[in-house]
Amino acid sequence: MLTNPERGSDEPLLAVEGLRTRFPTERGVVHAVDDVSFDLARGERLGVVGESGSGKSVLARSVMRLLPSAAWSAGSVTFGGRDLMQLSDDQAREIWGSEIAMVFQNPMTSLNPVMRIGRQITESLELHEGLQGAAASDRAVALLRMVGIPEPASRLRSYPHELSGGMRQRVGIAIAIACSPKLLIADEPTTALDVTIQRKILDLLDRLGRELDMALILITHDLGVVAGRTDRLLVMYGGRVVEQGPTAALFRRPRHPYTASLLAAVPRLHQPSHTRLAAIPGRPVDVVDPAPGCRFAPRCARAQARCTEEDPQLAPAPGSPGHAFACFNPVEDPTSGSTVPVERPRVRGGSVDAEASVVVS
Amino acid sequence: MALPTDQSPTVADAEPGTTEELTEPAVPRRIAAVDPIGALMQPPTSRRSRGRLGFWLAAAWIGVVALAAVFADVLPLHDPNTFTDLGPRVSPGLGRMDELLGTDVIGRSVTARLVYGARQSLTIGVVAVSVAVVVGSTLGLVSGYFRGKLDEVINVVLDSVLAFPPLVLLLAVASIGQRSVTTLIAGLAVLGVAPFARLVRANTLSLADREFVLAARSMGASNLRIMFREILPNVIPSVVSIVVLFMATIIVAEGSLSFLGLGVPPPDPSWGSMVNEGRQYLRDSPLLVFIPSAALLFTVMSLRRLGEQVQTRVARTRSNT
Amino acid sequence: MARYVARKLAHTVAVLLLASLAVSGMLDLAPGDPAYAVLGDNATPEQVEKVHEQLGLDRPFLTRYVDWLDDVVTGDFGTSFKTGQDVTGLIVDALPVTAEIVLLTLLIAMLVAVPLGIACAQNAGGRIDRIVGASSSVLVAMPPFISVPLLAFAFVLQAQLFPATGWVDLAENPLENLHHIVLPTIALALYELPVFVAGLRTEMVSTLQQDFILNAKSKGLSRRAVLYRHALRPSSFSIVTLGGISLGRLIGGAVIVEILFVLPGIGSLSVNSINNKDIPVVQGVVMFVAITYVLVNTLIDILYGVLDPRVKAGAG
């Protein structure tokens, strides 16, 4: 719905409008993605943040149109001028891998365990770029080198289980960027990795995005991953976008209570030891046959009667261009209400330059 | 709008963004190369939930067959081993019960032979399976509990039985004794001992280390008591879950042997020997082959269906405890 | 590692010894005197005694067994009581027939099972799956001695497409050979098919849920490439194991079809020699079959290692 005003004149690379995805389950129909809209410009980096069950992974798959056959989907996903939702499987296959590619969360299960790594890379090259034999292998070696794998030529014949977790993820990335896609969707790319490796993988994604002029959708539950590495953020809860806008703006002044809680829940190094973590009470909602009202209301400290009766819609945040949130009782503007003194949070995995003052009254 | 389609199985994977644990992907189960259960019986061909109709049809058929076998003497049937007054190879016709399915090569009532054949097959099956279960379970219990040399010896014995393809073993055993039902039962039982012994042994091995066994021993329970009062009851579900399926296999095995002339001695009827007798007249009186074949087919199918149901039921109760 | 192999070997040798002892013992206990099988029913007691001496049947059982064992180790399986032929020769003559039947059956069953299993798995619960499931229930209840008469009725008597009995050597006339082998092979294959299809289907269904399949799809690979190139190989272990187990059943099944179609294979050889009380032949054939069975299962274990590189690496 809201485009980034700085790039307003360019055609967005990806325009998602009213995307909905539902699954039938034994418990009922799960509304995994509920009316999500956003744009993505060429080379832009978008972060999608939320807890487990927020719908962020399903959103990624829905955008790519890679859902199981039991899923029902609606809305439009315009990519390169075409609506992906209207494409047949054959047409979609032309795009998958060559224009849009995905990196998966668990590098141990996302690589074929009985196929050599080189083959898993050259497969895409053969399919989309018509490279064969030595040409394909050379390109595969170059890709492995690009993602930082030492001795790439000898690694071509390795099997996934012969590599460490971080290496496997690099290979997964190499496979994804093999045909220089315009959009890379990374679904929790670092969750299954050691902390020390996480940063390297994220730096790698950064670098590749710049070198290949590739747009990036970074999906995670970890705020530290998106801080400083994304241009814009989508915060999801219960299948809906509750807040979106420039990353810096959201970190500096979150409006939706959920975003504010997420930020508050991050432990700060300068806090005294044994400070209680500001956890969000309750558990993530399971969106089956949802009732009207804000989905976060049951856990929200700022909930009012209206919150359980009406669905809040995304509305622009005054004074913050490109920033929107969906809340009837947003976190107060710090310049008007009582505030907690500004803190400089050290968020894991990257540097956060912006101050974040969090007001939860 | 457009319903996206793809070819993945219809599984609703609505698990967005769950964090998985760092675990090694499971190396595929090395199904034992010599799998005694599988070698003998066809494993269930589906674990899918099946229609209730199938179950009730199967139960009904088995019920009818069992009743007929038990009450054979009471039914208005001619002696299955002597010829009736109808003449040989008469087609089925309405009238007396003996006429319903016609007569066989020498004029005996097919109906009577079918019913008495049912009695033979079922009796042989039940006895053979019972012996196999009892002997096999005991061997397995002893072997798994005491381990060591005793285990080795029992294993060697079991493996030598398993070294022969099932039918070959049956042929060999059938050739020793007099052709009689007893020999037949003995042979089938020998065949069945190994898989049950293996199953019980595997279960015992894992159970013997558990705490409740330790607790019993610390209270002074004798080995015998532990084996039969503590371990055996926990092993029974596994045994029960394959017993019915195994019964189906035994019925087929008995049928094969009778077919080859090494089973139930003539003139007593067995479905297998009836098929063999009818073979010569396949062209002119195909029903002589088709009728006992159909009886066997329905019985085996029903037993398998019931057996699969037993398996699912046992598995379900297991997962609930 | 070496200790493990040594123990396995010792175990196998013990097993084979016990098996051979049991077979020999059983044959000895079997009623009927081989001498009469040789001489006919009207033999005089002196003739019988003479034959006993000739054949060495007057010696105690254990002596005979040990002698036989001695010979076997050097590759001599003795000579037939009835015909005087070399048992080894008899086995060698009969082997190709049975081997052809068994291998062809396995091949057909697997070739048909793969596309069927895949078709069922990719739309689990769908129409094809249910039809195949129902058919499997029927087929799995039809052992060869049931299916053969039915097939014979349809294709030999009615349609007259195939011969009822007989065998033509592969070397002599391949076409005729195939002509004779079609029905027996189909009867056997139909019985083995359901197990292969079910096994493959189950493994496929669980493989298809894995992430790397989604990954393959997201690369834009065609449905065929995803199924056959990515999903099939990790799912094929069950087929390999089932193949080994099938082999055992097939050797037994081959006995039935060989008798029904009068094919001169190992099955016929064993049944005929049992009926003739031709002890050396029975001993030889049964031992041969047992050894082959054990060897095949060892091969399957090795094949596992080849198919799954993780197993080779020792993760298994």
Q: Using CB atoms, which chains have 3+ pairs under 8 A with A? A: B, C
Percent of residues, chain A, with pLDDT higher than 70: 89
Dist CA C249 CA C189 (whole Å):
11
Query: Residue C97: pLDDT above 50?
Result: yes
Measure the CA–CA gap between C15 and C7, rounded to whole angstroms: 12
- Whether the CB of A72 is below 8 Å from some CB of chain B: the reply is yes
A294 Cβ under 8 Å from any chain B Cβ: no
Mean predicted confidence (pLDDT) in B138-153: 87
- A217 phi, psi to nearest 5 deg: -110, 115
C270: pLDDT strictly greater than 50: yes
- Token pair belonging to C138: 């029927």
Q: In this predicted structure, what is the pLDDT of residue B128?
A: 93
| A288 strand-pairing partners | A30
A361 and A332 Cβ atoms separated by less than 8 Å: yes
Looking at residue C158, the DSSP 8-state letter turns out to be I
Full-model pTM: 0.75
Q: Report CB contact under 8 Å: C215, A128.
A: no
Region C188-204 average pLDDT: 90
Contact C121 B272 (CB under 8 A): no
DSSP, collapsed to helix, strand or coil, labels residue B100 as coil
Residue C309 confidence class, pLDDT cut points 50, 70, 90: low
Q: Is A238 on the interface with B (CB under 8 A)?
A: no
Q: Are strands A45-49 and A72-79 parallel, antiparallel or unpaired?
A: unpaired
Separation in Å, CA of A276 to nearest CA in chain B: 24
User: In percent, how much of chain C has pLDDT > 70?
Assistant: 90
Average pLDDT over residues A67-79: 86
CB C198 within 8 A of CB C134: no
Q: Which of C218, C221, C237 best probes binding to A when mutated, by most A CB atoms within 10 angstroms?
A: C218
Q: Where are the beta strands (DSSP E) in chain A?
A: 14-25, 28-40, 45-49, 72-79, 82-83, 100-103, 183-187, 215-220, 232-237, 240-246, 315-316, 324-325
Per-residue pLDDT, averaged over C32-40, amounts to 68
- pLDDT of B319 > 80? The answer is no
What are B216's two structure tokens? 């019993």
- Give the pLDDT confidence of C231-265 residue by residue, as tens digits: 888 888 778 778 877 887 787 788 888 888 888 88
If contacts are CB pairs under 8 Å, which of residues 67-96 in chain B contact chain C?
none
Query: For position C109, what pLDDT does the model report?
Result: 93
Optimal mutation site among A27, A57, A185, interface B, most CBs of chain B within 10 A:
A57
pLDDT tens digits along B146-172? 888 888 888 888 888 877 777 777 777
- For B207, the token pair is 């159970």
Q: According to the model, what pLDDT value does residue B159 have?
A: 82
For residue B35, what pLDDT is reported? 52
Average model confidence (pLDDT) for chain C? 81
Which candidate in C145, C201, C271 is best for mutational testing of the B interface (most B CBs within 10 A)? C145
- Interchain proximity B19–A192, CB inside 8 Å: yes
Grade residue A140 by pLDDT with cuts at 50, 70 and 90.
Answer: very high
- Whether the per-residue pLDDT at B135 is higher than 90: the answer is yes
Highest averaged pLDDT of the listed ranges A1-5, A21-25, A246-250, C11-15: A246-250
What is the token pair recorded at A240? 């809906």
pLDDT at B73: 83
Q: For all residues of chain A together, what is the average pLDDT?
A: 82
Strands A14-25 and A324-325: unpaired
> What is the band of A49 on the pLDDT scale with cuts at 50, 70, 90?
very high
Task: Please tell me the predicted confidence (pLDDT) of residue C1.
Answer: 57
Task: Quickly state the pLDDT bin for C308 (edges 50, 70, 90).
Answer: low
* Residues in CB range of A169: below 8 A, 6 or more apart: A103, A107, A189, A190, A192, A193, A197, A201
Pairwise CB contact (< 8 Å): B17 & A188 = yes
B200-210 per-position pLDDT tens digit: 988 888 887 77
Query: Which residues from chain A sit within 8 angstroms of residue B8, using beta carbons?
Result: 68-69
Averaged pLDDT, A293-297: 84
Q: What is the pLDDT of residue A102?
A: 92
Contact call for residues A212 and A177 (beta carbons, < 8 A): yes
pLDDT tops 60 at residue A112: yes
User: C277 to chain B, minimum CA–CA distance in Å?
Assistant: 9
Helices and strands (H and E) in chain A: how many: 10, 12
Mean pLDDT of A146-157: 90
CA distance B232 to B200: 9
Q: Measured between CB atoms, does C39 come within 8 Å of chain B? A: no
Interface touch A32/B4, C-beta < 8 Å: no
* Nearest to C120, CA basis, from C200, C212, C23, C191: C200
- The residue of A63, A78, A88, A106 whose CB has the most chain B CBs within 10 angstroms, and thus the best one to mutate to test that interface, is A106
pLDDT tens digit string along A194-251?
888 888 889 999 999 899 899 999 999 888 888 888 999 999 988 889 999 999 988 8
Chain C contacts in chain B segment 1-40 (CB below 8 A)? 6-11, 13, 24, 27-28, 30-31, 33-35, 38-39
Per-residue model confidence (pLDDT) at position B321: 59
Q: Does C141 touch chain B (CB under 8 A)?
A: yes
pLDDT at A185: 93
On the question of pLDDT at B297 being above 90, the answer is: yes
A5-34: average pLDDT = 79
**Confidence tier at A347 by pLDDT (50, 70, 90):** very low
Residues B241-266 have a mean pLDDT of 86
User: Would the pLDDT of A344 be above 60?
Assistant: no
Query: B19, A52: Cβ pair inside 8 Å?
Result: yes
pLDDT of C38 reads 65
Neighbours of A116 (CB within 10 A): 17
Position A270 scores a pLDDT of 74
- B5–A69 CB contact, under 8 Å: yes
Q: How many CA atoms lie within 13 A of B80 on its CB side?
A: 23
**pLDDT value of position A2:** 46
- % pLDDT > 70, chain B: 82
Pick the residue from chain C with its C-alpha nearest to A159.
C309
Residues A60-77: what's their mean pLDDT? Answer: 86
Measured CA to CA, the distance from residue C10 to residue B11 in angstroms comes to: 49
DSSP secondary structure code for residue A308 in this structure: G
Chain C residues 203-232 with a CB less than 8 Å from chain B: 205, 208-209, 213-214, 217, 223, 226-227
Looking only at the bridges linking them, the beta strands covering A315-316 and A324-325 are antiparallel
What distance in Å separates residue B6's CA from the closest CA in chain A?
5
Question: pLDDT band at B107, cuts 50/70/90?
Answer: confident
φ, ψ at C86 (rounded to 5°): -65, 130
Contact criterion met (CB < 8 Å) for C234 and A127: no
Label each residue of B233-264 as H, E or C.
HHHHHHHHHHHHHHHHHHHHHHHHHHHCCCCC
Residue B39 is predicted with a pLDDT of 54
- Whether residue A341 has pLDDT greater than 60: no
Pair A13, A333: CB distance under 8 Å: no
> Which has the higher per-residue pLDDT, C44 or B34?
C44
Contacts of C282 (CB under 8 A, 6+ apart): B172, B175, C23, C27, C270, C273, C274
Residue of B155, B159, B164 with shortest CB distance to C286: B164
DSSP string, C277-313: T-HHHHHHHHHHHHHHHHHHHHHHHHHHHHH-HHHHT
- What's residue C252's pLDDT? 76
Nearest residue in chain B measured CA to CA from C18: B160
pLDDT for residue A46: 93
